[in-house]
Homo-oligomer: A and B are copies of this chain.
Amino acid sequence: MFEPRRIKHCRVCGQLVEYRIPADDNRERAVCPACGEIHYENPINVVGTVPVWGEQVLLCRRNIEPRYGLWTLPAGFLELGETVAAGAQRETDEEAGAHFEMQDLFTIYNVVRAGQVHFFYRARLHDTEFNPGPETIEARLFREDEVPWEQVAFRTVRETLRRYFEDRRQGSFSLHVGDIG
Residues of chain A at interface, number, CB under 8 A: 43
Give the CA-CA distance A117 to B108 in the complex, in Å.
13
Give the CA-CA distance A177 to B94 in the complex, in Å.
24
Fill in one digit per residue for A58-102: 1 if any B CB lies within 8 Å of its CB, else 0. Answer: 000000000000000000011111111100000000100000000
With a CB–CB cut-off of 8 A, which chain B residues contact A94?
26
Query: Which residues of chain A from 152 to 181 have any CB-CB distance to chain B below 8 Å in the complex?
Result: 175, 177, 179
Partner of A8, one of B11, B43, B105: B11
Q: Which of A13-21, A122-130, A139-147 contacts B (4 or more CB under 8 A)?
A: A13-21
Shortest beta-carbon distance, A125 to chain B, in Å? 22
Shortest beta-carbon distance, A134 to chain B, in Å? 7
Shortest beta-carbon distance, A21 to chain B, in Å? 13
A49 interface residue (CB < 8 Å to B): no
Shortest beta-carbon distance, A113 to chain B, in Å? 9
A residues sitting closer than 8 Å to B (CB atoms) are 1-2, 4, 7-16, 24, 26-27, 39-45, 77-85, 94, 105, 108, 110, 112, 115, 117, 134, 175, 177, 179
